[in-house]
Amino acid sequence: MSGLRGHNGRFDDDRPVAVVLRPLGLGDLLTGVPAIRAVRAAVPGHRLVLATTTALAPLAGLVDAVDEVLPARELEPLDWAGPPPELAVDLHGKGPASHVVVADLHPARLLTFASPGYPGPTWYPDEHEVRRWCRLVAEGLGVDADPDALDLAVPDVPAPAPAGVALVHPGAAFPARRWPPDRFAAVARHLAAAGLDVRVTGGPAEVVLARSVAQAAGLGEEAVLAGRTTTLELAAVVAGARVVVSGDTGTAHLASAYRRPSVVLFGPVSPALWGPPPRPQHVVLWHGDGTGDPWGTQLDPALARITVAEVTAALDDLLQPRWRRASKRTVCRSAGSTAE
């Protein structure tokens, strides 16, 4: 399944309906996938409707738990024309501003985090984003929720780059989370020198940035995928990538969803809150204390402390054959080192 039609609550059968609210960014949607799957497990006979943004609706078709998409905008009323759903779940936020969006559907059952006027599980600010929503569903609906159930189906669209490319994603939503372009260019040069086919990704607003990185790395115009991929095409490229290097962005979460080797650079936000799952193919670099501003207009000092040498060393380790990585780890342990 590569896509779902949008619906407004009118369906042709009498199945009970569960509405799940998650109209945020790419990374937000992907970190919510395990919780969405847990909702499906709790109500297997329901029609599960995901209320998400129009831009992210194509990705809903890659989640095996979702039946329909309801176009939604953040903190705005839903265009729901059908009868009240049997269940509505707020996977958006912790307070009344988002709770009221699903409550206004007048569901038979409403699941939200506790806030004035809304009973529910307690919100913990220091909880990882994936585990937070899994816990909401587990406690609220009495079902197991696996935080590692992040996988997406590979979209049935032609990938705009061949399998095995190395992806460099220099963009991020805010300047505080953007590692300097010249450092990304140095990493791209390193990967190209190692014989990899390097491509630079980004959204339509990041074309100039991606071109500057590619040019500084000595790559041709064909290396720039920024502004040339749909959401599904980007997912297809990541699904076949040899390795992905990026900041704390949605592309990093796509690498987790497809279990592709990745190096993720964190600055103002702790990876304990938004980092990839603890798998050997995902490497996190971070020198912060969690006090930075993720919406800041200047490069976060913790992100600035990550060096090109750290990133290239992490990439070199990931790109080694598995038996060499295992041998290296064994040697480190026998020498009494805790570094791997």
pLDDT in tens, 268-289: 999 999 999 999 999 999 999 9
What mean pLDDT is predicted for residues 165-169? 98
Q: What is the DSSP letter of 274?
A: H
> Is the predicted pLDDT of residue 126 greater than 90, yes or no?
yes
Q: What is the DSSP string of 230-267?
A: -HHHHHHHHHT-SEEEEESSHHHHHHHHTT--EEEE-S
What pLDDT score was predicted for residue 336?
33
Strand partners, 198: 166
**Residue extents of the structural domains in the chain:** 17-141, 166-321
Query: Which tokens go with 184?
Result: 């990304």
Burial of 222-260, coded b for 16+ CB within 10 Å and e otherwise, reads ebbbbeebebbbbbbbbbbbbbbbbbbbbbbbbbbbbeb
Q: What is the DSSP letter of 175?
A: G
> Do the first three CATH levels of 17-141 and 166-321 match, i.e. the same topology?
yes
What mean pLDDT is predicted for residues 201-212? 96
What mean pLDDT is predicted for residues 180-208? 97
Domain 166-321 has CATH 3.40.50.2000: yes
Q: Can you give the pTM of this predicted structure?
A: 0.90
Q: What is the DSSP string of 192-216?
A: HHTT--EEE---GGGHHHHHHHHHH
> Is the predicted pLDDT of residue 69 greater than 60, yes or no?
yes
What pLDDT score was predicted for residue 14?
86
Domain 17-141 has CATH 1.10.8.60: no
Distance CA 239, CA 319 (A): 16
Q: Rounded to 5 degrees, what are φ and ψ at 89?
A: -125, 125
Give which of 223, 126, 133 is closest to 169, Cα–Cα.
Answer: 223
What pLDDT score was predicted for residue 4?
58
What pLDDT score was predicted for residue 329?
40
**Number of continuous H segments (helices) and E segments (strands) in the chain:** 13, 10
Is 174:294 a contact under the CB 8 Å cutoff? yes
